[in-house]
A and B are shown apart, each in its own frame.
Chain A
Amino acid sequence: MSSDRWIKPAFFAGFSIPFVYLLWQWGLLFTGQPGSLGANPIEATNRFLGDTALRVLLITLAVTPLRDLTGWIKLTRLRRMIGLFAFFYVSLHLTSYFGMDLLFSVKALLKDITKRTYITLGMTAFVLLIPLALTSTNGMIRRLGPKRWNQLHKLIYLIAALGVLHHFFMVKGNQPEPWVHLGILVILLGWRLAKWSKPRFARRAA
Chain B
Amino acid sequence: MLIRRPKSWELKENQTTPHGLYLNRRQLVAGLGLASGSIASGAMAKSELAIAGRKLEYSSSKYQVDAPQTPYPMVTSYNNFYEFGTDKSDPAKHAHALITDPWTVTVEGHANKTGTFALEDIIRPNEQEERIYRLRCVEAWSMVIPWVGVPLRKILARFEPTSKAKYVQFVTKFERSQMRGTRWPVLDWPYVEGLRMDEAMNDLSLMATGLYGHELPNQNGAPLRLIVPWKYGFKSIKSIVKIRFVEKQPKTSWKKSAPREYGFYSNVNPNVDHPRWSQSSERVIGGGGFSSLFSRRETEDFNGYGTEVASLYTDMDLKRNY
- A complexed with B: yes
Residues of A in contact with B (beta carbons under 8 Å apart): 28-43, 100, 103, 108, 111-112, 115-118, 169-177
Tell whether A38 pairs with B86 under 8 Å between CB atoms, given A29-B290, A115-B273, A174-B257: no
Instruction: Please provide the chain B residues from 59 to 107 with a CB less than 8 Å away from any CB of chain A in the complex.
Output: 73-74, 77-78, 82, 86, 88-89
Question: What is the chain B residue whose CB lies nearest that of A36?
Answer: B41
Among B19-27, B150-158, B236-244, B275-283, the stretch in contact with A: B275-283
Chain B residues, CB < 8 A from A174: 184-187, 257
Most chain B beta-carbon contacts within 10 A, residue among A34, A118, A174, A175 = A34
Please tell me if the beta carbons of B186 and A38 are within 8 angstroms of each other in the complex. no
- Bound: A171/B184 CA distance, A: 14
Contact present for B276 and A39 (CB under 8 Å) = no
In the bound complex, CA of A33 to CA of B38 (Å) = 8
Q: Which of A39, A169, A170 contacts B286 (CB 8 A)?
A: A39
A-B contact pairs, 23 of them (CB 8 A): A29-B37, A29-B38, A32-B290, A33-B37, A34-B36, A34-B37, A34-B44, A36-B42, A38-B77, A39-B40, A40-B88, A40-B283, A43-B88, A103-B294, A103-B296, A112-B277, A115-B273, A115-B275, A172-B139, A173-B186, A174-B187, A176-B86, A177-B86
Q: Which of B39, B86, B296 contacts A34 (CB 8 A)?
A: B39
Q: A39-B74, A169-B276, A174-B187 are in contact. Are A30 and B290 (CB under 8 A)?
A: yes
Q: How large is the interface on B (under 10, 10 to 19, 20 to 34, 35 or more residues)?
A: 35 or more
A35–B286 contact, CB under 8 A?
A: no
For A42, list chain B residues within 8 Å (CB).
Answer: 283, 293-294
| Chain A residues near B118 (CB-CB < 8 A) | none
Residues of chain B at the chain A interface (Cβ within 8 Å): 32-42, 44-45, 73-74, 77-78, 82, 86, 88-89, 139, 141, 184-187, 254, 257-258, 273, 275-278, 283, 285-286, 290, 293-294, 296
Among residues of B, the one whose C-beta sits closest to the C-beta of A30 is B290
Contact B257 A32 (CB under 8 A): no
Evaluate contact between A173 and B82: CB separation under 8 angstroms. yes
Known pairs A32-B33, A39-B77, A173-B82. 6 more at Cβ < 8 A?
Answer: A34-B36, A34-B44, A35-B41, A103-B294, A174-B185, A176-B186
Give chain A residues whose Cβ lies under 8 Å from the Cβ of B77.
38-39
**Ordered nearest first, which 4 A-B pairs have the shortest CB separation?**
A39-B78, A32-B37, A32-B33, A39-B74
A residues within 8 A CB of B35? 32
